[in-house]
Structure 1
Amino acid sequence: MAKTTPDADHTAATTKVAEDVESGNVVASRTGRKLPRNYDAMHLALRVMCLLASLVSLVVMTSAKEKSTMSLYGLDLPIYSKWSFSQSFDYVVGVSAVVAFHSLVQLIMNVRTLLKKSSTISSRNHAWLLFAVDQVFAFAMMSAGSAASGVTNLNKTGIKHSSLPDFCKPLQSFCDRVALSIAFTFFGSFLLAMSTVLDVVWLSKY
């Protein structure tokens, strides 16, 4: 009966790992660890969706402006509304722009590393950095969406016990665009939160 030596076993294992890497079943990281291909695919997909969500939020909000007239005490008054008139909407635009830039940079880096058949996360320090940054931006997007929601609700309902009217009736297009932008802001926050979960998974296993 033939016996295999430890050197032969090591060579066979090395060959098997090389074949897996070559076939795309695993991705080799710079630290020598092996990650499943679907992990990096999920990371890449989240970056793409986060980039698109933040861009939609940014573009829709910056296009929110409308002129109309409204009746107040029997008088027809011209009104004009624009996103830049509200600091909360400015906040949404600023945060969305920063998150879009962050997502684009991470997406480019991820594509480059995957083309080299390396992991999208190169080390524990890298994973911790991504976890911290993604978490900060997730909270920032949630904060911006919440602040903008308060202003939008005020425009929709007016102020109780006062004669301030519902501005969204004559400015329906403006309010619809703002609402859509806020929805994508919250969606972007959710995607960033999911990205932090993937970072935690990586840290727990590697």
Structure 2
Amino acid sequence: MPEAVKVATAADSGTMSGPLVPVTGRPDGASADGRRWDMAGAAMRAATVVSSLLALALMVSAEQRGELSLLGFHLPLYSKWSFSDSLEYLVGISAAVAAHSLLQLLLTVRKLVKKTPVIPSRRHGWVIFAGDQAFAYAMMSAGSAAAGITNLNRTGIRHTALPDFCKPLHRFCDRMAISITFAFLSCLLLAATAIFDVLWLSRY
């Protein structure tokens, strides 16, 4: 009888301190879910890199010469993105967002390959969340400023004789419009990534 009690006690102690208890304190299911979560975040980063680079490339290549007919006079026109502070602002923010997203993507892929946590701590998670949110607001601001310039080029100035500059410079205006569209898409992707960060913080 004492031997039976002794064997049962040993078995109980083995289940409490033996190899059945995970070393990390997280079950295998949670680890698998975390890896899928990290892969989804990497896909969002990749999409942000592509959209911000497209916004940057299209704006930098926005340049055209044309001719405007005004009151019987033919005026030569030349338009380039660097002639506007708002468009320069969009170029700068797009480059910063692309660099930030590419860096985070490379770090994420590296950690996924090594099978280590992409976000090692809550403090690190809060830092990434703050960065994503700041860049999302900056991209929204830059896109809105550039959209105002594009609208002015298409409609002219009210109560004056200034015409629609986008008629002779249609290629320039089209590139600006597409670039601004990708800028707003980058903003939405950064906002979605920030939401991912918050959900990760709430889970762990």
Question: Do both share a fold (TM > 0.5)?
Answer: yes
- Identify the residue that residue 14 of structure 1 maps to in structure 2: 22
In the other structure, the counterpart of 1:31 is: none
Structure 1 stretch 59-68 or stretch 5-14: which is displaced more? 5-14
What are the ranges of 5 or more consecutive residues in structure 2 without an aligned counterpart? 1-6
| Paired position in structure 1 for 2:3 | none
In structure 2, which of residues 147, 157, 161 is the aligned counterpart of residue 159 of structure 1?
A: 157
Q: After the TM superposition, which residues 12-51 of structure 1 pair with which residues of structure 2 at under 5 Å, given as runs?
A: 12-14=20-22, 20=28, 26=31, 36-51=34-49
- Taking the TM superposition and a 5 Å limit, the aligned residue runs for 1:1-206 are 4-8=11-15, 10-14=18-22, 20=28, 26=31, 36-206=34-204
- The 2-side partners of 1:58 and 1:73 are apart by 37
Q: How big is the shift at 1:6? A: 4.1
Structure 1: state its 5+ residue gaps.
28-34
SS for the counterpart of 1:71 is strand
Matched residue of 1:69: which SS?
A: strand
**Cα shift at 1:20:** 4.1
Supply the AA of the counterpart residue of 1:149.
Answer: A
| SS of equivalent to 2:117 | coil
How far does residue 8 in structure 1 lie from its aligned partner after superposition? Answer: 2.9
Question: 1:157-187: per-residue Cα shift (whole Å, max 9, x none)?
Answer: 0011100100000100000000000000000
What secondary structure, in the 3-state scheme, does the structure 2 residue paired with 1:67 have? strand
CA 1:18–1:196: 2 relative to 1, 3 Å: closer
Which residue type is aligned with residue 43 of structure 2? Answer: A
Alpha-carbon distance, 1:70 to partner? 1.2
Structure 2: which amino acid aligns with 1:201?
A: L
SS in 1 for 2:118: coil
Offset, 1:81: 0.3
Q: Aligned partners of 1:86 and 1:154: how far apart in 2?
A: 12
- The TM-score, its normalising length taken from structure 2, stands at 0.89
Q: CA RMSD in A?
A: 2.3
The AA in structure 2 aligned to 1:11 is P
1:34-80 alpha-carbon deviations (Å, 9 max, x no partner): x5222101110011001111100000000000001110001111101
SS of residue paired to 1:5: helix
